[in-house]
Amino acid sequence: MRVALFVPCYVDQFYPSIAIATLELLEKFGCTVTYPAKQTCCGQPMANSGYEHEGDSCSKLFTENFAGFDYIVCPSGSCAHHIKHHLHTEKDKPEGEHIKKTVYELCEFLTDVLKVTSLKARFPHKVGMHQSCHGQRGMHLSQMSELTAEPFSKPGQLLDMVEGVEQIKLDRIDECCGFGGTFCVFEEAVSAKMGKDRVADHIRNGAEYITGADMSCLMHLEGILKRQNSKTKVIHIAEILNNYES
C-alpha cells in the first residue's frame, strides 16, 4: 500500500527522530512510504485560536500534497484529527473527502489497518501513558474513563507487545495535560498547573518515562520535568515501538 507520511510542524522542527521512527515502523510492516516534501502546517493553530478561515491556504496546500495516496499516517492525534474533521476543500472536494477518510494517527493505523499483533521491540522501563485529549476523545484511541463501557487503549495495546515495558497505573488515567495548543499561550498559569498535576501523577506512580501519541502534549510535560530537574523523561510511542534497547 502507498502511504504518505504527514509530519507535524513541531515534530519536523524539534523532534525529527519521531518522524524517522514512524517511517521505519511503517516500512517494517511492508508499507511503501512517501514524504510529500512541500507539506507545511496543517492549519490547526489557526483553528485553535478561532481563526479557522485563516487556514484555508493550508487546507489547499495539504490537499495538493496528499491527494492520491491509499493512506496518510501522522504521529499525532491532534493533527490527524484536524485534517479528518476540519480540512476545507470546497474547490477540491473529491480529493478532500478521500483525504478525510484515509488519514490515520499512527497507533490507530497500526492496530486498525495493519492489524499488528506482534512487534520486535524492547524497552525495559516503567512507562506512564499520557492519553492526549484529541487522540482519545477525537480519534477514539482509547476509552474515556467517565463512560461505563469496556476499556481499551490502542497505544496501550501496542506497548503490551514491547518486551520489557511495564505500564504503570495512574490515579487519573485520562486527565488533560493543559497544553491545548494556543491555550498554553493565552492561559499559561492554568496550563502550567494542569501540566504539573499530570507530571506529579506519573512521578508518584514510578514512571521512568512518560509516553503518548502526541508530542505536543509531551513537549509541554517535558518542559515542566526539566524545570523540576526530574529524572523522568518523555518519549513518543513511535520511538518505543521502533526501539530495541539491550
Share above pLDDT 90 across residues of the chain, in percent, rounded to a whole number: 76
**From residue 210, how far is each of 104, 168, 206, 240 by CA, in Å?**
22, 10, 10, 11
pLDDT at 124 (0 to 100): 97
Residue 185 pLDDT level (bands cut at 50, 70, 90): confident
pLDDT at 226 (0 to 100): 97
pTM of the entire predicted model: 0.93
Going from the N-terminus, what domains does the chain have, and what CATH number goes with each? Answer: 2-113 (no CATH), 126-241 (3.40.50)
In this predicted model, what pLDDT tens digit does every residue of 187-219 receive, in sequence order? Answer: 889 999 999 999 999 999 999 999 999 999 999
Question: Is residue 173 within 8 Å of residue 201, measured between CB atoms?
Answer: no
pLDDT at 92 (0 to 100): 67
Q: Which of 69-73, 84-88, 150-154, 179-183 has the lowest mean pLDDT?
A: 179-183
